[in-house]
């Protein structure tokens, strides 16, 4: 079953979450190959865009991707965000998402990310400025609120809809929770009842069955998968099949997991070169081998390795 945002139709309801340090182009090409219907970029700083930082401009490059990607921006000042959104649109963004959920101290102390949920008048002004600055659809990704005493997501959902936002994503934890406890899926159901724009449910989907359950319990229009896909892009294929009522693909073998880990490595190497790939792939590789006998020792060896050949040999040794 397809899903649409502001007139753009996606082939299914399975979305890969924005994750800083994870969802770069290599990762998005991989999730697309596993059947994910819509990707998000990593969050991109409005300031860095306005200054034209090279690595930030690179993050706007969506070429070679077979599945569309939403460009996610973060910032705290309406006019800066509006200017950054206009740049992103000019560079080819087809949908722009505003980050109102990042809990990281260095982000919220600047009034960005989840800090916007503490100041809804500014959140409204910021949304309005961005919507007015671009022609493309604008979406908002939010948490449940700042803390348990201020769970104002329904108010922010209504503000977003009234200001012309075309879809919202809700990760129903508060900022103070960071990633602790369980995502409160009831809040997704309430958001769905509160607005008529599409609601994307997010939080704690680790198996295809979790996605089915989230849709059943909340009625959300699409599901977004973050941590569950790290080192496990197979989850996108399984979830897409489950949501379309198809038979689930078989659980990947260890050999298949290693093969995909190396494919991920090669994709990144093509895009980012040797040095960055070795250092950035270390965390991905540790996710790919998590839970396998010998993983801890292999991880230590990967952290010392400096070439693809060494990494490949370490991964292959896990098959013995």
Q: Mind telling me the catalytic residues? A: 102
Q: For residues 268 and 281, give the distance between their C-alpha atoms in angstroms, rounded to a whole number.
A: 8
- Check: CB of residue 73 under 8 Å from CB of residue 126: no
Distance of CA 3 to the CA centre of its chain: 17
Q: Point out which span in 29-37, 99-107, 272-280, 288-296 binds ligand FMN (CB under 6 A).
A: 99-107
Show Cβ contacts of residue 311 under 8 Å, excluding neighbours closer than 6 positions: 262, 265, 278, 281, 285, 302, 305
Nearer to ligand FMN, 229 or 318 (CB): 229
Q: Point out which span in 29-37, 47-55, 222-230, 304-312 binds ligand FMN (CB under 6 A).
A: 222-230
CB atoms within 10 A of CB 105: 8
Residues 109-168 that bind ligand FMN (CB under 6 A): 141
Nearer to ligand FMN, 107 or 197 (CB): 107
- Candidate residues 8, 42, 57, 301; the one interacting with ligand FMN per rule CB under 6 A: 42
Is 17 an interacting residue with respect to ligand FMN (CB under 6 A)?
yes
Is 43 an interacting residue with respect to ligand FMN (CB under 6 A)?
yes
- Shortest Cβ 205–ligand FMN spacing (Å): 5
Rg, the chain, Cα only: 19
- Candidate residues 31, 77, 80, 99; the one interacting with ligand FMN per rule CB under 6 A: 99
- Which residue do the tokens 């948490």 mark? 143
Nearer to ligand FMN, 159 or 170 (CB): 170
Q: For residues 176 and 222, give the distance between their C-alpha atoms in angstroms, rounded to a whole number.
A: 26
How many residues of this chain interact with ligand FMN, rule: CB under 6 A? 22
- Candidate residues 72, 80, 174, 218; the one interacting with ligand FMN per rule CB under 6 A: 72
Is 202 an interacting residue with respect to ligand FMN (CB under 6 A)?
yes
> At CB < 8 A and 24+ separation, what contacts does 278-284 make?
278/305, 278/306, 278/307, 278/311, 280/21, 280/24, 281/311, 283/21, 284/22, 284/27, 284/230, 284/231
Is 107 an interacting residue with respect to ligand FMN (CB under 6 A)?
no
List residues binding ligand FMN (CB under 6 A): 17-22, 42-43, 72, 99, 101-102, 141, 171, 202-205, 225-228
């Amino acid at each position: 079953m397809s899903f649409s945002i502001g007139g753009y139709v996606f082939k299914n309801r399975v979305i890969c979450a924005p994750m800083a340090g994870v969802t770069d182009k290599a990762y998005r090409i991989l999730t697309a190959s596993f059947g994910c219907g819509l990707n998000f970029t990593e969050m991109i700083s409005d300031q860095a865009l306005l200054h034209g930082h090279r690595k930030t401009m690179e993050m706007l490059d969506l070429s070679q991707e077979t599945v569309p990607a939403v460009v996610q921006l973060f910032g705290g000042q309406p006019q800066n965000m509006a200017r950054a959104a206009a740049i992103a649109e000019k560079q080819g963004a087809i949908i722009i998402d505003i980050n109102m959920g990042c809990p990281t101290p260095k982000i919220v102390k600047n009034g960005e990310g989840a800090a916007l949920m503490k100041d809804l008048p500014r959140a409204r002004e910021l949304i309005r400025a961005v919507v007015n600055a671009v022609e493309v659809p604008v979406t908002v990704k939010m948490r449940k609120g700042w803390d348990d005493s201020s769970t104002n997501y329904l108010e922010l959902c209504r503000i977003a809809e009234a200001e012309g936002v075309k879809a919202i994503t809700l990760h129903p934890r508060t900022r103070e929770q960071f990633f602790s406890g369980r995502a409160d899926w009831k809040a997704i159901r309430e958001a769905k009842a509160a607005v008529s724009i599409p609601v994307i449910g997010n939080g704690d989907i680790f198996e295809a069955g979790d996605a089915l359950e989230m849709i059943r319990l909340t009625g959300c229009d699409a599901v977004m998968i973050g941590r569950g896909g790290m080192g496990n892009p197979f989850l996108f294929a399984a979830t897409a099949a489950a949501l379309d009522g198809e038979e689930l693909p078989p659980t990947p073998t260890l050999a298949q997991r290693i093969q995909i880990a190396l494919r991920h490595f090669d994709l990144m190497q093509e895009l980012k070169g040797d040095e960055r790939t070795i250092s950035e792939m270390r965390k991905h590789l540790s996710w790919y081998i998590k839970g396998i006998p010998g993983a801890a020792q292999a991880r230590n060896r990967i952290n010392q390795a400096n070439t693809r050949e060494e990494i490949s040999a370490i991964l292959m040794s896990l098959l013995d």
